[in-house]
């Protein structure tokens, strides 16, 4: 059995590129799901807004958490994008690829497009801003007065 090491490396790089895209999409969808759940909770739960209005320290903590999560999210997205770029470059420099394939369509589907990543990042950024706004607004929620 003749095993071409270039082919094995090509397969490894292609699988890594596929896995990287899966990780990227998981980050995006998980983040958006959690953001929408938190936004929905703040919009629909009067108890949550009242609780936040009475506990200003929690509002500061939540805003700090949102900022931290926002920057962590950006770093993870940048990491998956740069990994995609490095893997795509390594594939095009692979001996098996250059000799037998030499067609970017083979891996383009699994490579992250910069514009698409920017759009996804913009959408999650908007959701982070909405979430922060709702947290601040909840702090100004009118407190119930006893009868």
Per-residue pLDDT tens digits for 89-111: 999 898 887 887 878 788 889 99
d(CA 41, CA 112): 32
- Mean pLDDT, the chain, rounded, equals 91
Q: Kindly list the distances between the CA atom of residue 42 and the CA atoms of 31, 66, 129, in Å, as whole numbers in the listed order.
A: 17, 14, 14
Q: Is 111 helix (H, G, I), strand (E, B) or coil?
A: coil
Average pLDDT of the segment spanning 21-27: 98
Q: Are 50 and 139 in contact (CB under 8 A)?
A: no
Q: Which residue from 23, 7, 3 is spatially nearest to 97, judged by alpha carbons?
A: 7
User: Residue 141 above 80 pLDDT?
Assistant: no
Res. 85 pLDDT band, cuts 50 70 90: very high
């Amino acid at each position: 059995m003749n095993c071409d090491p270039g082919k094995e490396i090509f397969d490894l790089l292609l699988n890594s590129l596929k896995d990287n895209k899966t990780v990227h999409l998981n980050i995006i969808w998980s983040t958006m799901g959690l953001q929408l759940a938190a936004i929905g909770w703040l919009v629909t739960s009067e108890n949550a807004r009242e609780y936040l209005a009475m506990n200003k320290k929690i509002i500061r903590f939540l805003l700090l958490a949102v900022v931290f999560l926002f920057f962590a999210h950006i770093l993870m997205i940048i990491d998956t994008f740069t990994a995609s770029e490095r893997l795509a470059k390594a594939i095009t420099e692979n001996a098996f690829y250059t000799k037998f394939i030499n067609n970017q369509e083979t891996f383009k589907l699994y490579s992250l497009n910069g514009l698409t990543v920017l759009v996804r990042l913009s959408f999650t950024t908007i959701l982070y801003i909405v979430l922060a706004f709702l947290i601040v607004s909840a702090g100004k929620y009118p407190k119930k007065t006893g009868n």
